[in-house]
Copies of this chain bind each other. A is one copy, B any other.
Amino acid sequence: MLKPLGDRVVLKAETEEEKTVGGIVLASNVKEKPTTGKVIAVGEGRTLDNGQKLTPAVKEGDRVLFDKYAGNEVEYNGEKYLVVHEKDLVAVID
| Residues of chain A at interface, number, CB under 8 A | 46
Assembly CA distance A53 to B44 (angstroms)? 17
Copies in the complex: 7
Q: Is A17 an interface residue (CB 8 A)?
A: no
The reply to whether A75 and B27 contact each other, CB–CB distance below 8 Å, is yes
The reply to whether B76 and A5 contact each other, CB–CB distance below 8 Å, is no
Contacts of A15 in B (CB 8 A): none
Contacts of A48 in B (CB 8 A): 47, 49-51
The reply to whether B51 and A91 contact each other, CB–CB distance below 8 Å, is no
Query: With A44-B57, A49-B49, A83-B90 known to touch, is A73 a contact of B27 (CB < 8 Å)?
Result: yes
Contacts of A34 in B (CB 8 A): 72, 74, 83
Can you give 19 A-B contacts (C-beta < 8 A)?
A2-B24, A2-B93, A4-B90, A5-B91, A6-B57, A8-B91, A10-B91, A23-B77, A25-B75, A27-B73, A27-B75, A27-B80, A30-B72, A33-B72, A34-B74, A47-B48, A47-B54, A48-B50, A49-B50
